[in-house]
Amino acid sequence: MSRLPPLRLDPAPLPGVLTAITIALAASFLAERYDGPQLLFALLFGMAFNFAAEGPRVKTGIDFASKKILRFGVALLGARIGMEQIVALGAAPAAIVVVAVSGTILFGWLLSRVLRRQAADGLLTGGAVAICGASAALAISAVLPQGKDQQRFTLLTVVGVTTLSTVAMVLYPLIVESLGLDARGAAVFLGGSIHDVAQVVGAGFMISPEVGDGATLVKLLRVAMLVPVVLIFAQVYRGAGGVDGAARPPLLPGFLVAFIALVVLNSVGVVPKAVATGLGDLSRWCLVVAIAALGVKTSFRQLAELGWQPVVMIVGETLFIAAVVLGGVLLLR
């Protein structure tokens, strides 16, 4: 009887992965202690360790965390979404969100043309602003051509959307109050225009529990649009290959298949609520580790070399989606 060969795990990535995890733990501790943006802290802490990026002991693991763990975390995002959440919103808010998301991505593409950036840059910033901030930036980046500046541009996008999302969390409730929006209108505006989920929750519950719950549902609809957007982008850039023109990526990336499967399973009630919550938390943690690794691979000098155009793009897209959503809310009053 033949014996199965022993299972051998490659230990090479371990030092780099442990480095990213340690950075993520430190960032998470500070984020909880000072109620700050966890992903932004992980990115900045990682960049402080850029000197170690090319170290032979950590490079393999840092690359593994910034790619494999990133895609695993994106796949697990599907556990947070169910069709019943989308149906509960009603037709009008859903229409506003769909128009705002689609329009913002198109606006980002147009801005990239005007500013003479690559089309992929506009799709990345537009998708990040339109859908769910840093998480969307990481997911979309995974299917775009992996050029030499692509990872740095992704990190700059994460910094921009996270910063603007935090600013919006403070300012947008004031806009709601000044315009006298009711709870439903406030929920649609906050959930439809603030980039990151955590800041949507914070802004909504600053006003009331009712607004907080409604804004979270609206935000989840935007998160659900990550599936078709990433799928479309994957098909558009399928023939682009990697940095060195390597093999064509698969028709449907594996992490996106897992994402869709989890959405379906969650929608039909197969995934228990406690398990879905646990998978959502694991997803968030994987993204924190991945962005810490991406930070290690990038320096402030490299970000500065990208120029002022990305900042203009992200700010412009942020103002655009806020104007579209607010206009839709006012029309429905």
pLDDT in tens, 160-195: 887 787 788 778 988 998 999 988 899 999 999 998
Residues 195 and 104: their CA atoms lie apart, in Å, by: 12
Q: Are 167 and 174 in contact (CB under 8 A)?
A: no
pLDDT average, residue stretch 280-298: 81
Give CA torsion, residues 194, 96, 287, 51, to 10 deg.
Answer: -60
Res 302: pLDDT: 58
Residues 22 and 289: their CA atoms lie apart, in Å, by: 9
pLDDT band at 85 (very low <50, low <70, confident <90, very high): low
Res 329: pLDDT: 92
Residues 42 and 297: their CA atoms lie apart, in Å, by: 13
Residues 6 or more apart whose Cβ sits within 8 Å of residue 64: 13, 16, 17
pLDDT band at 300 (very low <50, low <70, confident <90, very high): low
Residues 283 and 129: their CA atoms lie apart, in Å, by: 20
pLDDT in tens, 9-34: 566 788 888 988 999 999 889 888 88
- Secondary structure of residue 242 in the 3-state scheme: coil
Res 183: pLDDT: 87
pLDDT average, residue stretch 87-99: 83
Res 256: pLDDT: 65
Q: Are 138 and 235 in contact (CB under 8 A)?
A: no
pLDDT band at 248 (very low <50, low <70, confident <90, very high): very low
Res 168: pLDDT: 85
Return the percentage of the chain with pLDDT > 90, whole number.
20
First to last CA, the chain: 76
3-state secondary structure 212-240: HHHHHHHHHHHHHCHHHHHHHHHHHCHHH
Res 123: pLDDT: 92
Q: Are 313 and 112 in contact (CB under 8 A)?
A: yes
The residue that leads in pLDDT, 230 or 249, is: 230
The tokens for 66 are 């910034």
Helices (H) and strands (E) in the chain, counts: 17, 0
Residues 248 and 244: their CA atoms lie apart, in Å, by: 11
Q: What is the largest CA-CA distance in the chain?
A: 78
Res 82: pLDDT: 67
Res 98: pLDDT: 92
Residues 297 and 50: their CA atoms lie apart, in Å, by: 6
- pTM value is 0.68
Of 150-159, 160-169, 204-213, 238-247, the range with the lowest mean pLDDT is: 238-247
Res 317: pLDDT: 94
